[in-house]
Copies of this chain bind each other. A is one copy, B any other.
């Protein structure tokens, strides 16, 4: 059964879907009929079943029922910050990070990034990525849509700092650093941010800047991962740690 986000708080047992995109998907693409049931999630992260009662030219009238199902959100606020790469990789990172539970996804430009976003395309690109995040969040039955953000300079990452801040650093892994990620997670921070460099890695002065700004360099194991694989590794580990190994 598919899920849709609605942009109004659902306060009683009736709800009218007026958002044109959701209307189109439910009524035209999937051709739902009265009697069919879908899930709705409102801005307060509540989940409802909605039974379709009537479909007009541009609205869907439903009767709704609040569910007590536990939230599907990670019990820790996770931000991943990834250096810019090609369009398909960025879209892929957005989709997969959403499935894996990220709350915020930041893209930034760094020295060895192969890409940069010109000022006049940023808004358009973010709208597209936000749309991908919304669709992935609906598909993976999340209660929120992660926020997709662009920061123009690595130094602006500090504006998004969490309680724990990490940078995945290949050189740390090469030097055999294998314990700092687990140590950090054992401290049970409320929020965590991890920065990931481009295919060519961070420049030494970028790592220096991040370390001085309290981003701890951590290794993610002995194999070299592509730039888009490392954030998936990180998010999977967070889920395992906080959702599957609860004591």
Binding site for B on A (CB under 8 A): 70-72, 96, 99-101, 139-142, 176, 178-179, 181-182, 219-226, 229, 232-234, 236-237, 239-241, 243-246
Contact = CB atoms under 8 A, between A and B. Distances in A.
Contacts of A245: 179, 182
Interface of A is mostly: loop
B141 A100 contact: no
B140 A178 contact: no
Nearest to A219: B244
A99 B221 contact: no
A225 B182 contact: no
A71 to B, nearest CB: 8
A236 B224 CA distance: 13
A96 B92 CA distance: 13
A244 B233 CA distance: 12
Given A71-B222, A100-B229, A221-B239, 19 more contacts: A72-B223, A99-B229, A100-B233, A101-B221, A139-B226, A141-B223, A178-B246, A179-B244, A181-B240, A182-B245, A219-B244, A222-B243, A229-B232, A232-B233, A232-B236, A236-B236, A236-B237, A237-B237, A237-B240
Contacts of A139: 224, 226
